[in-house]
Amino acid sequence: MKSASRAHELSPEEQAIYRSLNPERMPAHIAIIMDGNGRWAGRRSLKRFLGHQQGAESVQYVVETASRIDLPWLTLYAFSLENNLKRPKTEVNFLMRLLRSYLINNVQRMNDNNVRIAYIGRTHELPAEVQEQMQQAAEATARNTGTVLTLALNYGARSEIIDAFAALARERAAKHRTKDHPMEHITEADLHRHLYTAHMPDPDLVIRTSGEMRISNFLLWQIAYSEIFVTERFWPDFRGLHLLEAIAEYQRRERRYGGLKTHTDEEIPEQAGVLVSR
């Protein structure tokens, strides 16, 4: 059952932007690369962990705004596979404690906002106590019908595609009862069925904070035709107001998916396609 909009709960500043939006062109799925926690702290001469703590606060502000405008899907790049492998162990351990604390302290808040939490990534590689808390939060919010908040944890898009191919290979081997040529005649739908996100629509809008112009191994398959919005604002300073500003920018763009907005029947001379050397 679709949840009712709670736009009346937005702040006056948020409502001013929300009222300008076209309700028929709202994105169904927004994915966010949350970047800049460390730099936010560094510019304030603070320890990096304080930037991560403030970033966790930003998550809930943005989630609440998403739930109030009835955004169906919100995916947050919370902890990458590369973070797990390349960051100092002390920082990784702190991030795991912060994640566990976030899940413990915000379940009631998620329920109050009708938010259901889910996860993508190689979550089986996370510490057992973190996995246990993730499961508890998922079970506690499973009956909610509003925004689905998906945390990408120990996630990497290349790894996701590798895992999908491996699952597809196992499926083909079992189906044909042989390992001879099990991967012939693959379609996009075959691979999509085995992605972590198979149950989700592709993102309409990808937001990246901190001004970096890169994707960082996030949802590479799924964002083929997503609109991308980059803000110089660091994640700890990002709020629901800025989410709405990104949606407003999204609505000003023309999505063509490789086609044209209007078709043309203009005739193109045959010689127009011939390159002449000089």
Catalytic residues: 35, 83
CA atoms within 13 A on the CB side of 40: 22
**Does the CA dihedral 190-193-196-197 come out positive or negative?**
positive
Q: How far, in whole angstroms, is CA 122 from its chain's centroid? A: 15
List CB contacts of 40: < 8 A, sequence separation 6 or more: 51, 54, 55, 234, 235, 236, 237
CA dihedral 39, 40, 45, 47 (to 10 degrees): -80
Distance from C-alpha of 63 to C-alpha of 66, rounded to nearest angstrom = 5
